[in-house]
A and B are shown apart, each in its own frame.
Chain A
Amino acid sequence: MLPKAEMVHWLFATGILLVGLCLLAEAIVGTEVWRMRPWRKYLWPGLAFTLGLLLWPVMAFFTNSAIHMYAHGSWAEVLMLAGGAELGLVHGRLKSRWWRLTWPLAFAVTGIAFIVHEQNPWFFARSAFLHHLLGWTFLIAAIVPLLLVWRPRSPALQSFFALSIVLVAVMLYCDRDVAPVFGHLSPLAGPPHR
């Protein structure tokens, strides 16, 4: 018995929202204050790694099209890689700042996978619109973690990074809605269910 696809999206939206809120909190109070409790530095990288791990069941159980399976698999891998690299950096196991390149990589791969695997055009329904918007948000926002490789303590960049992840979470909450977007709903989409 598999949970409905929208429930799975809500679960991951919640996880990603938590990651974004942790990052936002760190950007607001500053890294030194955020890390005054040692466990806090592991919080958002650990969450990201765990979300990557939890994406494997999504890949394995939702096989109603090959391209969906590959998209979910690619997200699982890049999220585990980026979360794992960040955990390694905060723990001191990894030293090179180049490991932070895993985040722009994760954003780029995720964005491309979102755009390529969406099967319908922008105004087909709200869900299709949000899939395209998610893809482009990830692709454009990839520049922020890329700049963070050189300016890891920049409050502005940290804030943009956090807000882009919060934005992604909000979009994920409603990206399964078969509902009109700006008044448009394709007659091919079936009856609205949100």
Chain B
Amino acid sequence: MRRVAVIAFLALAFPAAAAAHATLRSTSPHFAKELQRGPAVVALHFDQEVKILPGAIRVLNSRGRDFAGPSRVQGTTVSASVRRLPTGSYTVRWQAISADSHVVSGVWTFGVRVPALPVTEAYGAEGPTNTEAVVRWLWFLGLALTIGSLGFRLICLRGLEVPLGLDRRIAVAAGLGCVVSLQAGIAAFSLRAEDALQLPFGRFLYGDLSPMAQTRFGEAFVTMTLGFALVLALVYLAWLLDRVVFFVPAFALSLVFVAGLSVSGHDAVDPGSSWKTEIADWVHLSGASLWIGGLATMAVLLWFQAPQLRRAAFANFSQLATVVIALVLAAGTYLGIVRLPHLRDLWMTGYGQVLIVKLALVSLALLWGAFHKFVVAPALQRGDAGFLSRIGRSLIGESIVGMAVLLVAAVLVDSKPPPRPVPSQPAQAASQR
């Protein structure tokens, strides 16, 4: 223990021995730029002088052919001449040595007479990995907890005498959801950048993430981070001042900012996407969050903290869930049709097989929900108190199935949908007319 303490102290006392990295200030051509003709030179401008090794700048086409000449350094600028580039998208991978001999690295893309590919699809980029699916799941859980707890309080407990303690616990749950969302967002952004950079962790820490921030996913990450930080502040004020009124803007903002995932995922960028698929994805995601998060809030917080509200809350949630599930199913069916052009894709492709698992879990959750709606709810209305004491664990069980659905949804998001069939020539001509 003492040795660890001494090493930690020395590491902090002499960081100069372990750090002196240069930072990239600008590039030519710029990130994601579409050029009318290939650049004669690719240049990187740093904030301090750097040294280079052979191959410091590589300009790679989609097959990995390098078009860059020898790299040279002049002051704080590193450059390389570039041979004539045919039409296409190109990846620039660079590395430079800082004053302390540590390596700083980065990647960006540009296009010649075509739009540049996103940096996540740069030559050499890999992923997504299983870790990304787990992080995405945590992100979904955080969003569901925030949206579900706030929605449950504002919709299902509206007009009821809610104990102060329950309101505070709901605020804590929503705040916890925000914190999880923020952390998972940072982790997801980092992992996506790591896929593109393909660097070991030590070098990744000094990797330049700004090209990643300019992708759709990066913009969604920035927007969602700011939005959910604001939601966290509002939820905190509601807890501090015992004012439920702050839940209203917090709920509205969380519904708006969750759209960040919808405008940066498959349903926004893949072939066949349109504003309709983006809206459908938003309805699907926010509806599922409200359903699963609201159910978990009722099962864990209300059922055991405020037993006097069980009957009314259960009846109200049952009505809300009916509407929300109808919307989730309608949006999900539409997106499934868009993503899977042929029915056989459902069992022939990896994406379709994951979707089958998700559908199976959704069916289980729906059956469980139907039992609650058609058996438990009428019994509660008749005044059968026995159900009130026994149904808590059943609600928790349904919530766990809902969380499993979110896990499979996270895997689905990181899977690649099957390619859409190319329209035949006459059909293309007709569509152009």
Contacts and interface: CB of A to CB of B under 8 A. Distances in A.
A36 interface: no
5 contacts: A61-B222, A80-B232, A91-B241, A93-B239, A119-B22
A70 B289 CA distance: 28
A157 interface: no
B253 to A, nearest CB: 14
Contact of A121 (B16, B212, B239): B16
A191 to B, nearest CB: 10
Interface of A: 49, 53, 56-57, 59-61, 63-67, 69-70, 73, 76, 80, 84, 87-88, 91, 93, 112, 115-116, 118-122, 124, 132, 135, 139, 186-190
A119 B20 contact: yes
Given A119-B98, A121-B20, A124-B20, A65 B205 contact: yes
B-side binding surface: helix, strand, loop or mixed? helix
Nearest to B208: A64
Given A65-B209, A120-B16, A187-B49, 18 more contacts: A53-B230, A60-B225, A63-B210, A65-B104, A65-B206, A65-B208, A66-B204, A69-B209, A80-B232, A88-B240, A112-B12, A119-B19, A121-B17, A121-B100, A122-B16, A124-B99, A139-B12, A188-B99
A60 B222 contact: yes
B415 interface: no
B226 interface: yes
A60 B221 contact: yes
A63 B76 contact: no
A139 B12 CA distance: 10
A179 to B, nearest CB: 14
B242 to A, nearest CB: 8
A186 B100 CA distance: 12
B213 A63 contact: yes
B240 A56 contact: no
Nearest to A94: B240
B15 interface: yes
B229 to A, nearest CB: 4
A-side binding surface: helix, strand, loop or mixed? helix
Interface in B158-192: 186, 190
Contacts of A91: 240-241
Interface residues of B, number: 43
Given A69-B209, A76-B229, A118 B19 contact: yes
Contacts of A189: 48
B209 A60 contact: no
Contacts of B213: 61, 63
B23 interface: yes
A40 to B, nearest CB: 17
Contacts of A187: 49
Contacts of A76: 229
A119 B139 CA distance: 31
Interface in B51-70: none
Contacts of A64: 23-24, 208-210
A112 B208 CA distance: 22
Contact of A66 (B12, B98, B99, B207): B207
A116 B210 contact: no
B47 interface: yes
Contacts of B47: 190
Contacts of A63: 209-210, 212-213, 218
B21 interface: yes
Interface in B105-156: none
B23 A66 contact: no
A67 B206 contact: yes
A116 B15 CA distance: 7
Given A64-B210, A69-B209, A93 B240 contact: yes
Given A120-B99, A188-B48, A56 B208 contact: no
B193 A66 contact: yes
A120 B23 CA distance: 11
B317 interface: no
B99 A56 contact: no
